[in-house]
């Protein structure tokens, strides 16, 4: 029996409510997954996550590999015990961070091809040696894996599919992801295609490395990641290829940030028609409220994103009518409470009656409580938004739920 199993309990169109069963408990889907990058959700105690309704936490393989090292996490009993969280846990592959932190999304990474290797004897420089000393600004890709610099101290490291799997086996999360190449969103078609095929080969190697570990196979589920950038034909081809390999779940890969132009999310979602009904789907890095509901409408089951706590640390709060920046002058004396701005049943006990003026005061006076309150508020908001979507699917009212939220939030 597979360690991760998925059952669907209700449908409305392509949207579905279900149960994702893991060795550390069931996840009612759809579900928003808080990101605990370094085995801790910034500003929030693990016990508070349960109060907020968070069912599962995702941690970052790249960061935990660099600090404190996967061996310490393993010796502590695995990721959940290390961070004091009793529920299910997820780890990513480290691919996104290797390429975004190590490569600056294409600003200084290079791909080493076979013809490049053959030209070494001719004295051809494959990369600028001066660039190699720039901390966190180099990733050299070859067929076997990626050599990259640490963003912490500039030391050189190497990830291969097999090494990524080995690290994630040690971290011990219930669900983990195959190593992939996360390309720059604006990379041209030919490079996206080349990187996609390399991702497929790495996915196959990740799966083989996982299957060789009998113990891990019994306690950890492995998801493959589809790529293809901003090109519909590549997205469709990648989805089919990953699905055919026999992973436990499917991840929508790529950067869905709108700062590079239009989001690639709709293209990635359209390709989900080729994913089997009983295969769980995860939206990597999807956290914009409208994108969450769009993903749910297309049949995505779980989502992770750093946005609620990242926004919170910078004073940006989600509300029913869109976002607000608490550092703006007009909120200094605004006695509106957080409970008036949030979705029903959202905030943990004790924080409902904080006013905008109070939170603004905390930020303006440099107190750490301000970002903590804002992070709690934002995480509770997105958790409740997705929980409400699940309830709406069960009641057959999801389309209305999505429409009403979009009208109020973006209108």
> Any idea of the CA torsion for 214, 216, 218, 220, to the nearest 10 degrees?
-150
DSSP one-letter string for 29-43: ESEEEEB-TTSS-TT
Close Cβ partners of 341 (under 8 Å, ≥ 6 residues apart): 317, 319, 320, 321, 324, 356
Owner of token pair 């976002």: 323
Phi-psi region for residue 156, left (φ > 0), alpha (ψ -120 to 50) or beta?
A: beta
Q: How far is Cα 404 from Cα 398, in angstroms, rounded to an integer?
A: 10
Sign, CA torsion 361/366/371/373: negative
User: Cα separation of 1 and 368, whole Å?
Assistant: 46
Cα 238 → chain centroid: 19
Do the Cβ atoms of 316 and 380 come closer than 8 Å? no
Side by side, which strands form the sheet with 25-29? 5-12, 15-22, 25-29
SS3 131: helix
Query: Is there a cis peptide before residue 87, judged by omega within 30 degrees of 0?
Result: no
Distance (Å, whole) CA 41 – CA 54: 11
75 is catalytic: no
Angle at 315 between CA 36 and CA 370, to 5 degrees: 80
| Phi, psi (rounded to 5 degrees) for 110 | -135, 150
> 92 catalytic, yes or no?
yes
Catalytic residue chosen out of the listed positions 174, 304, 387, 408? 304
Which positions are catalytic?
92, 304
């Amino acid at each position: 029996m597979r360690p991760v199993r998925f059952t669907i309990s209700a449908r409305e169109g392509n949207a579905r409510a279900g149960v994702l069963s893991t060795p550390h408990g069931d996840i009612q889907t759809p579900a928003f997954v808080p990101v605990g990058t370094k085995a801790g959700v910034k500003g929030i105690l693990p016990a508070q996550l349960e109060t907020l309704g968070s069912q599962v936490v995702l941690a970052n393989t790249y960061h935990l590999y660099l600090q404190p090292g996967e061996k310490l996490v393993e010796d502590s009993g695995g990721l959940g015990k290390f961070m004091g969280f009793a529920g299910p846990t997820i780890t990513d592959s480290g691919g996104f961070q290797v390429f975004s932190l190590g490569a600056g999304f294409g600003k200084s990474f290079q791909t080493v091809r076979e013809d490049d290797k053959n030209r070494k004897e001719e004295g051809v420089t494959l990369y600028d040696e001066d660039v190699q000393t720039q901390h966190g600004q180099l990733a050299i890709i070859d067929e076997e894996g990626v050599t990259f610099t640490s963003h912490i101290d500039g030391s050189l490291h190497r990830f291969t599919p097999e090494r990524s799997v080995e690290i994630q086996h040690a971290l011990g999360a219930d669900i983990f992801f195959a190593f992939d190449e996360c390309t720059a969103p604006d990379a041209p078609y030919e490079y996206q295609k080349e990187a996609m095929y390399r991702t497929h080969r790495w996915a196959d190697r990740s799966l083989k490395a996982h299957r060789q570990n009998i113990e891990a196979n019994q306690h950890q589920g492995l998801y493959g990641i589809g790529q293809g950038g901003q090109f519909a034909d590549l997205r469709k081809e990648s989805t089919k290829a990953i699905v055919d390999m026999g992973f436990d779940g499917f991840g929508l890969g790529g950067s869905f940030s709108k700062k590079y132009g239009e989001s690639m999310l709709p293209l990635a979602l359209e390709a989900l028609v080729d994913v089997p009904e009983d295969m769980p789907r995860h939206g990597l890095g999807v956290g914009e409220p409208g994108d969450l509901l769009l993903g749910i409408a297309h049949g995505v089951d779980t989502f992770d994103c750093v946005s609620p706590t990242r926004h919170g640390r910078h004073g940006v709060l989600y509300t029913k009518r869109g976002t607000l920046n608490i550092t703006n002058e007009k909120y200094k004396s605004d006695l509106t409470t957080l409970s008036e701005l949030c979705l029903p049943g959202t905030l943990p006990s004790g924080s409902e009656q904080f006013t905008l003026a109070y939170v603004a005061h905390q930020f303006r006076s440099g107190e750490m409580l301000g970002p903590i309150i804002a992070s709690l508020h934002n995480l509770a908001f997105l958790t409740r938004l997705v929980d409400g979507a699940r309830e709406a699917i069960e009641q057959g009212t999801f389309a209305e739920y999505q429409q009403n939220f979009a009208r109020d939030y973006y209108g």
